Each structure stands twice: as structure tokens, then as C-alpha cells.
Amino acid sequence: MRVLHFTVPPEYDGKKTREFLRRGAGVSARLLRALKADPMGVCRGGRPLRMVDLLRTGDRLTLTLPDERGAGGTRALLPLPLEVLYEDDDLLVVNKPAGLAMHETHNHQGDALSNAVAYYLQQKGSAAVFRTVGRLDKGTSGAVVCAKHKYGAAKLSGHIEKEYLAAACGVYEGRGTIDAPICRPDPGKTLRAVGEPGEAAVTNWEALWTDGKISLLRVRPETGRTHQIRVHFASLGTPLVGDDMYKSPDTRLSHQALHCARIRFTHPVSGKALDLYANEPNYNDLLEQPAMRALLPDLAGKDVLDVGCGFGHNCREFAERGAKRVVGLDLSERMLAAAKAQNALPEIEYRRMDMADLDTLEAGAFDFVYSSLCFHYAAHFPKLCADIFRLLRAGGRLLFSQEHPFTTCSKNESNRFLCDENGRADAYALAHYAERGRRTGKWFVDDVENYHRTFGDIVTALAEAGFHIERVVEPEPSPEAVRIRPGLEKEFIRPAFLLVRAVKCK
């Protein structure tokens, strides 16, 4: 049961309790009625306080919020992993994946965000119910704020600033504003349109990148109309990528390319300013990372090396799992700066180093070497394996993931999935597999170099370095992951990643 504390300021000296609670504390009329119904709902100095009682400057009031256990009714529980961006006694902020409905409807029974949050709260023994402040469309991903009580929901309503990332079918440059009313042409349908009579709607945008066909935009809506961003861009003839409802010509995604990437608001109880970011769930989050975590050994008291540590998220996890020392290596100064700012702990040391230079590190210094999606950038894989073997102590383990040789073998970026007569992928073209060597591709920027080697090459290099291979995994998506990103169904046709765990035998 949540108890809130307030100190009466001078401007409410001599005022009635009701006036302070409604205007000074921001208590809603509905919550005020619930507090009045509880003899100990509002107290001063431990004694019940009536709404007509007069207050004095410095009075300490306590509000005991109603226990809402069971108030949300019987709700099916969905054991779906949630990415929690922030949580305390008053709020839960999660990163909703695309494809997950907010609430149960006749089309979504037991498989909505409300069900996943209900399961999460039950596991924590919380009496809170699912109460979102604002909403996102089913196909939109990103930050969602859930208030754990009515007071928090009322205080935050209309006071959350949102920033989205969107991909629109068209060329945008600079920045601009779309100021156009939004109406509902057919009251029986969800579809919206720009037109009169409609509600005022204002959307600000800033172009971040374009390839001449698609533009990546940062979008800040001033109002919160249903489908506002989607309707505004569609009205200009540039619907969002994947937005079938608004006639997008680009259907490479099964949902609109819209992500609530950032939210800013003032905490309803503490008054603290919060600025939270939500990364869009991707293949790594849904496929590669869960499989890698399942292969992690016990790290308590161990010395760990992370090759290609990026922003340091895994380094932090290793330290939190009890590692004695974690060294994170990366070539990118930008990523290392972010790692030091966001994922710094006393046990972690970040260094700028190429994995080709691992032979400069002290031999036998580590119990565990980890690398996520890095080794396909190594030009000389046998040397890399030998260097890591030298760094490990007897009994130490190597765990790495890389792009699967089936994906690194191609010499071009064309779609290699073959489709049946209904346009559904049912086969994969394997080309140039035996032609080892350098490849160029695109990973955020053009002409990124990686190296193709066969599955046999990888196994042989590890064996010749002295490793005993314990596990080889080609991860398959879970049903929940496919529901979040339907494109993951293609992983049953060909694997995207190869994971290997090997040990340096004693």
C-alpha cells in the first residue's frame, strides 16, 4: 500500500484540506472520493483529517492510497520478457515491441502488453494494476509509461513529452511542422484522415537521413491524436514504411516504421525530471542475445574479457553477475565514451584496441572471453583463436557469436530468399559459399568490411588452437519473438547467427 507525504506550503495556510489536495497536491476528484471513504486515507500527525479541516504552514500530511489488488479484474497472464527502462514504487516504464497490442480486445485475448505487465507485477508481488499514461498503436514500438496508482496517472496525464523516430516514403530535408486537423471519416472504423471537421493536430519533424527514397525523421508531436504521425505524413503523400492502413508503397516491414524513442516528464511524486530512451528491439535483442545468455558460465569471481564491447551493456551485466574484473575492448571511441558514461562500474575497465592486437595482452589473464557479433570482421581467424587461447587460463572458456557463414558468403546485398507463388519466403539461395575472403556490405554505413569463412574453417581453427568445442548453436526464434517481429519466421529457413562455446582444457 503506497503512502504519500506532503508538507503544506505558506500559500495554503488557513485553507481547507480539500483545496490543498486538489490544487496543491494534484489529487483527482475520483481519488479524493476514495480517500474520503477510508477513515485513515488522509492524516495529519497520525490522526484522521477531514476535507473541511483548516491547514497550517508546515503541516505534514499523509495520504494512504487505496489498495487496488484485484481492481483490474481477472486478467490472463503473459510471461513475456519486458525491457524495463525505469521502475520505482510509483512508475513502471517499459519498451513495448512492435506487434504487441496495448490492451486486450476481441482480437487480442491474453496476448497484450496489459497481460505481460500483469504477469510482471504478479511475479514481484505488487498490488498495482495496468494503468498506462497515453498509448501506442499495436504496430508502434517504444517507451510506455505505466502508473502504479491513480495519483501518478492523474498527475502525468497530458504532461509526457514524446520523441519518435519514423521512416517515411519520401525525401525530407531540414525541419518543418505539419499543422492539420485530424478527423474520423467513418465512426465505425479506426481509420483517420486530415480534414474538417477535425481536432487540431500539430507534428514537428526533423530530417536525419535520406537515400532519395526513404527518409529517417525525428518527430515531436505537440498533440496526441489517434494515428497522428501516421496520418500527417500519409496526407503529404509520404506514408510511413510498412503502414499498410495508410497505403504505404514500401511493405518491407509488417508494421509502420514508428518508434517512441524518448520520453521526458516530471516524476509525479518526487518531482524529479526524468529523460528516458528506448531502443527498438532488433534481431540481436530477440534472437542472438537470449541465446548467448543461455550459454554463459558462472562468472562469480572471474576475470572476463569482452572483445568488441560496444556500449558496454554486456560488461555491466558480467559485473552484476559477480565477475571480479571485466575488461571491455572496442575500436570505436564514440562507443567507448558512451560505455564509460552509461555503464561504468568499479569492476569494469574500457580500452581502445583492435582484436588483431590481442597478442599484446598478458597471457593467462582471463577466465572467460566473450564476443558478440564481432569475429566476422576478423581478417585472420586462426590467429585470433590462438591469441584468445593464450589469454585464457586452464579451464577458461570462450563464447562468441558471429554472422552465420550462410549469410556472410554472398557477394552482394540482394534479397536471397526465394518466394513461393504467394510471395512467401520458402527457400534461401546459397551462393559463393566456398569462395573465402573479404566481403563488403552495409551496416548503418556503406562499404563495411567483413570476412567469409566456412563452418569447417571456423571449427578447424578453434581445434588447431587447442580448444575443445562444447556447444554450437544456431538460434531459432521463440513464438513470442516471431509475434513481435514476424520477419523472424525466415530464421527457420536459414540461420542468421552462429554461436560457439569452447573450453581450454586443463
Radius of gyration of the chain from its Cα atoms, rounded to whole angstroms: 27
pLDDT at 478 (0 to 100) = 75
Question: What residues contact residue 481 under an 8 Å CB cut-off, 6+ apart?
Answer: 286, 287, 488
Which residue type sits at 299? Answer: L
Question: What residues contact residue 315 under an 8 Å CB cut-off, 6+ apart?
Answer: 304, 306, 309, 326, 328, 339, 343, 348, 350
Q: How far apart are CA 316 and CA 350, in angstroms?
A: 11
Choice among 43-47, 49-53, 105-109, 199-203 with the minimum mean pLDDT: 105-109
Q: How far apart are CA 17 and CA 245, in angstroms?
A: 51
Bridge partner list, 371: 400
Pick from 477, 98, 455: nearest CA to 284: 477
Q: Is the CB of residue 405 less than 8 Å from the CB of residue 432?
A: no
pLDDT at 365 (0 to 100) = 97
pLDDT at 446 (0 to 100) = 42
3-state SS, residue 487: helix
Choice among 257-271, 360-374, 434-448, 462-476 with the minimum mean pLDDT: 434-448
Which grid coordinates belong to 302? 572471474
Which grid coordinates belong to 493? 529457413
Termini Cα distance of the chain: 55
How is residue 270 annotated by DSSP? Answer: T
Expressed in percent and rounded to 5, the helix, strand and coil fractions of the chain are 25, 30, 45
454-504 pLDDT, tens digit per residue, is 999 999 999 999 999 999 999 988 775 675 566 778 889 999 999 999 999
Topology, domain 283-503: Rossmann fold (3.40.50)
Domain parsing of the chain, residue ranges: 3-64, 84-156, 161-277, 283-503
How is residue 4 annotated by DSSP? Answer: E
Q: How far apart are CA 131 and CA 72, in angstroms?
A: 9
Choice among 99-108, 170-179, 356-365 with the minimum mean pLDDT: 99-108
User: Does residue 377 surpass a pLDDT of 80?
Assistant: yes
At residue 52's C-alpha, the angle toward residues 49 and 56, to 5°, is 70
pLDDT at 444 (0 to 100) = 38
Place of cell 526465394: 418
Give whole-number Cα distances, 304 to 74, 299, 350, 381, 405, in Å: 46, 8, 12, 21, 27
Say whether 283-503 and 3-64 share the same fold.
no
- Mean pLDDT value across residues 79-92: 87
As separate numbers, helices (DSSP H) first and strands (DSSP E) second, the chain gives: 13, 26
Topology, domain 3-64: 3.10.290
Q: Is the CB of residue 78 less than 8 Å from the CB of residue 38?
A: no
pLDDT at 281 (0 to 100) = 59
Choice among 55-64, 444-453, 467-476, 490-499 with the minimum mean pLDDT: 444-453
Q: How far apart are CA 268 and CA 319, in angstroms?
A: 33
Which grid coordinates belong to 125? 508481488
Give whole-number Cα distances, 383 to 366, 370, 443, 496, in Å: 18, 16, 25, 24
Question: What residues contact residue 291 under an 8 Å CB cut-off, 6+ apart?
Answer: 401, 473, 475, 497, 499
Q: How far apart are CA 324 and CA 159, in angstroms?
A: 43
Q: Is the CB of residue 314 less than 8 Å from the CB of residue 327?
A: no
CA 450 centroid distance within chain: 27
pLDDT at 415 (0 to 100) = 66
142-153 pLDDT, tens digit per residue, is 999 999 999 999
22 or 105, which is more confident? 22
Domain 161-277 part of CATH 3.40.30.10: no
Which grid coordinates belong to 76? 490472463
How is residue 92 annotated by DSSP? Answer: E
What average pLDDT is seen over the chain? 89
Instruction: Give the active site residues.
Output: 137
97 or 226, which is more confident? 226
- Mean pLDDT value across residues 331-353: 86
Which grid coordinates belong to 284? 540481436
388-437 pLDDT, tens digit per residue, is 999 999 999 999 999 999 999 988 766 688 888 877 788 988 889 999 99
Choice among 55-59, 134-138, 445-449 with the minimum mean pLDDT: 445-449
Topology, domain 84-156: Pseudouridine synthase (3.30.2350)
pLDDT at 74 (0 to 100) = 53
311 or 361, which is more confident? 361
Q: How far apart are CA 249 and CA 256, in angstroms?
A: 12
Q: Is the CB of residue 362 less than 8 Å from the CB of residue 383?
A: no
3-state secondary structure 192-246: CEECCCCECCEEEEEEEEECCCEEEEEEEECCCCCCHHHHHHHHCCCCECCCHHH
Q: How far apart are CA 176 and CA 413, in angstroms?
A: 34
How would residue 447 be classed by pLDDT, with cut points 50, 70 and 90? low
